[in-house]
């Protein structure tokens, strides 16, 4: 089999490595537009769970990577003069340049033909390849060429962010919250070797404009050229966090995150992996991880299905899509939380920290308690003290909604049973809703209520468009 891989980032290189192990006779050519030593960005993060996947996929690569790792388990949230720490979060990181160098060496050792400073031929000119893998990032040329078939969705989000580095080595993953007259800026920072840390600055587009950054940031910059005026602005803004150290640039410029989705990942003999197929917001640290996990799944699909291209690519997408979409849902929740950071910044630091840590909905109250029970206990105590009662599970804590006070935070929302008579609820509704109320829920919501006869799905839909309905509900 002849394989063309467009893009020599972690996903494309890792797939090439694994595919040479699966099928040693296959010919793999990787096209990478940049030099071997180019690496835009700073550190990349992996969770302990992801490392287990890598260990089984290729022990040699796993050993090379983990020998260089910086590890930590704490997350520090710096908010209004306090530092809130939560432990038990197992993460590792290393420099992107080091990761690429390791993968390049491993690929070369296995006989992969990696062609640097080479633009890939067009998809039509790659007709010699039995398989074409689009691993060329969020702005994928492969995807754009076959857009009518892949049917991509590109959603430009509402925050601006900039990737930076610093020679200050942090001892934990850090969130720095800085409030200004223009709005809130946040820094996401983590160590990735014994000399450096990644430092990402993010803020809402509206705040970015009010701060005058639209005026000082160049409209366009060539690849590799940084926005030095904005780097200086960020260094001044986060001076306390940097403790006298510098912010370092590497192709650093303000950009908006683009959420990429595709209706299809496989078209004929062309397959997308990594950011070309899907993106997940950096606040959950999943871009490189997802690309390399895609590489594992695609290579293993060929291991299981041999040269049956259609079966292998279909199996790859069937395995990965549910996992990726789940990650994208968590990433979406996380990025939306940061887009709305101004709504939460006035919370007490401990409560703010808890909300930040659980923003993706993957880390829940119970999950966080397993990781760091003392932290959750302190959250419970602070929360209980704020309403003058003893600590209890948050679910059973009263909640005030304007003039309505709920005894607890359990909400029950029944499904529509389509049992109304021309919109009027009856005995069925009394029994159905009453039985649920007996469970002690703080708030019981009715089924969907239609506001007009023409707005009904069926004649059995409950309504609120005549006096009889109002009386029946009462």
List the CATH number of the domain containing 48: 3.50.50.60
Domain region containing 447: 411-473
311 and 436 fall within a common domain = no
Residue 109: burial class (beta carbons within 10 Å; 0-12, 13-18, 19+): exposed
**Degrees to nearest 5, angle at CA 315 with 310 and 318:** 125
Of 284, 308, 333, which residue sits at a domain end? 333
129 and 195 fall within a common domain = yes
- Lowest mean pLDDT, pick from 249-253, 284-288, 344-348, 451-455: 284-288
Query: What confidence category does residue 437 fall into, taking pLDDT thresholds of 50, 70 and 90?
Result: confident
Query: What confidence category does residue 327 fall into, taking pLDDT thresholds of 50, 70 and 90?
Result: very high
141 and 102 fall within a common domain = yes
In a domain, 177, yes or no: yes
- Lowest mean pLDDT, pick from 183-187, 198-202, 345-349, 362-366: 362-366
In a domain, 339, yes or no: no
Fill in the DSSP letter of residue 457: S
- Give counts: helices (H), strands (E), the chain: 18, 21
Q: Is 15 helix (H, G, I), strand (E, B) or coil?
A: helix
Tens digit of each residue's pLDDT (9 = 90 or more) over 139-161 = 999 999 999 999 999 999 999 99
Q: What is the reported pLDDT for 439?
A: 80
382 and 440 fall within a common domain = no
Mean pLDDT along residues 420-448: 87
291 and 379 fall within a common domain = no
In a domain, 13, yes or no: yes
354 and 234 fall within a common domain = no
Of 48 and 316, more confident: 316
Q: Is 416 helix (H, G, I), strand (E, B) or coil?
A: coil
Rounded to whole angstroms, the Cα distance separating 23 from 379 reads: 53
Mean pLDDT along residues 160-188: 97
Of 333, 361, 383, which residue sits at a domain end? 333
Q: Is the pLDDT of residue 90 over 70?
A: yes
What is the greatest pairwise CA distance in the chain? 80
Q: What is the reported pLDDT for 73?
A: 93
168 and 267 fall within a common domain = yes
205 and 267 fall within a common domain = yes
Q: What percent of the chain lies above the pLDDT cut of 70? A: 99
In a domain, 405, yes or no: no
* Residue keyed to tokens 């002849």: 2
281 and 352 fall within a common domain = no
Shortest CA distance to 75 belongs to which of 173, 177, 175?
173
Q: CB–CB of 153/262 below 8 Å?
A: yes
Tens digit of each residue's pLDDT (9 = 90 or more) over 219-257 = 788 888 999 999 999 999 999 999 999 999 999 999 999
Computed over every residue of the chain, the mean pLDDT equals 93
Q: Is the pLDDT of residue 328 over 80?
A: yes
State how many domains the chain has: 3
Of 333, 362, 389, which residue sits at a domain end? 333
Tens digit of each residue's pLDDT (9 = 90 or more) over 15-71 = 999 999 999 999 999 999 999 988 888 999 988 778 888 999 999 999 999 999 999
Q: What is the reported pLDDT for 389?
A: 67
367 and 420 fall within a common domain = no
In a domain, 321, yes or no: yes
Mean pLDDT along residues 103-119: 97
Rounded to whole angstroms, the Cα distance separating 401 from 429 reads: 25
Other beta carbons less than 10 A from residue 462's beta carbon: 24
Query: What confidence category does residue 286 fall into, taking pLDDT thresholds of 50, 70 and 90?
Result: confident
Q: What percent of the chain lies above the pLDDT cut of 90? A: 76
Of 340 and 46, more confident: 340
298 and 213 fall within a common domain = yes
pTM of this prediction exceeds 0.85: no
Q: What is the reported pLDDT for 52?
A: 86
Q: Reading across the β-sheet that carries 270-272, which strands appear in turn?
A: 113-116, 27-32, 2-6, 131-134, 270-272, 266-267
In a domain, 188, yes or no: yes
Query: What confidence category does residue 275 fall into, taking pLDDT thresholds of 50, 70 and 90?
Result: very high
Q: Is the pLDDT of residue 329 over 90?
A: yes
442 and 302 fall within a common domain = no
Q: What is the reported pLDDT for 211?
A: 97
Q: What is the reported pLDDT for 180?
A: 98
In a domain, 338, yes or no: no
């Amino acid at each position: 089999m002849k394989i063309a891989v467009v893009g020599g980032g972690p996903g494309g290189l890792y797939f090439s490595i694994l595919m040479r192990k699966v099928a040693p006779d296959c010919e793999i050519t990787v096209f990478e537009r940049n030099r071997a030593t180019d690496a835009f960005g700073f550190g990349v993060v992996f969770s302990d769970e992801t490392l287990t996947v890598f260990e089984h996929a290729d022990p040699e690569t796993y050993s090379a990577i983990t020998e260089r790792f910086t590890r930590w388990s704490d997350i520090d949230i710096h908010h209004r003069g306090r530092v809130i720490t939560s432990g038990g979060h197992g993460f590792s990181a290393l420099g992107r340049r080091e990761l690429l160098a390791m993968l390049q060496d491993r690929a070369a050792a296995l006989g992969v033909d990696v062609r640097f400073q080479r633009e890939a031929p067009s998809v039509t000119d790659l007709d010699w390849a039995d398989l074409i893998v689009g691993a060329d990032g969020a702005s994928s040329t492969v995807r754009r060429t076959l857009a009518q078939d892949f049917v991509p969705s590109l959603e430009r989000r509402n925050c601006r962010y900039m990737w930076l580095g610093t020679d200050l080595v942090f001892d934990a993953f850090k969130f720095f919250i800085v409030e200004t007259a223009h709005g809130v800026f946040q820094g996401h920072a983590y160590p990735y070797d014994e000399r450096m840390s990644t430092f990402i600055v993010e803020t809402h587009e509206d705040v970015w404009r009010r701060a005058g950054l639209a005026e000082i940031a160049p409209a366009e910059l060539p690849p590799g050229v940084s926005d030095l005026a904005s780097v200086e602005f960020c260094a001044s803004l986060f001076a306390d966090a940097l403790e006298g150290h510098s912010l370092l640039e590497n192709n650093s410029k303000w950009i908006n995150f683009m959420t990429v989705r595709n209706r299809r990942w496989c078209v004929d003999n062309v397959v997308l992996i990594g950011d070309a197929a899907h993106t997940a917001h950096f606040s959950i640290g999943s871009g490189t991880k997802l690309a390399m996990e895609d590489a594992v799944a695609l290579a293993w699909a060929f291991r299981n299905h041999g040269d049956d291209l259609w079966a292998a690519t279909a199996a790859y997408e069937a395995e990965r899509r549910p996992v990726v979409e789940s990650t994208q849902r968590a990433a979406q929740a996380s990025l939306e939380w940061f887009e709305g950071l101004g709504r939460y910044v006035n919370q007490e630091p401990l409560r703010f920290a808890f909300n930040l840590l659980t923003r993706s909905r993957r880390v829940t109250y119970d999950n966080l308690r397993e990781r760091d029970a003392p932290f959750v206990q302190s959250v419970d105590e602070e929360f209980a003290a704020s309403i003058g009662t003893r600590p209890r599970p948050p679910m059973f804590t009263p909640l005030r909604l304007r003039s309505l006070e709920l005894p607890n935070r359990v909400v029950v929302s029944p499904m529509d049973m389509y049992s109304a008579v021309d919109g009027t609820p009856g005995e069925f509704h009394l029994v159905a809703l009453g039985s649920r109320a007996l469970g002690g829920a703080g708030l019981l919501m009715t089924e969907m209520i239609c506001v007009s006869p023409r707005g009904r799905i069926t004649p059995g839909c409950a309504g609120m468009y005549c006096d009889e309905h109002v009386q029946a509900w009462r």
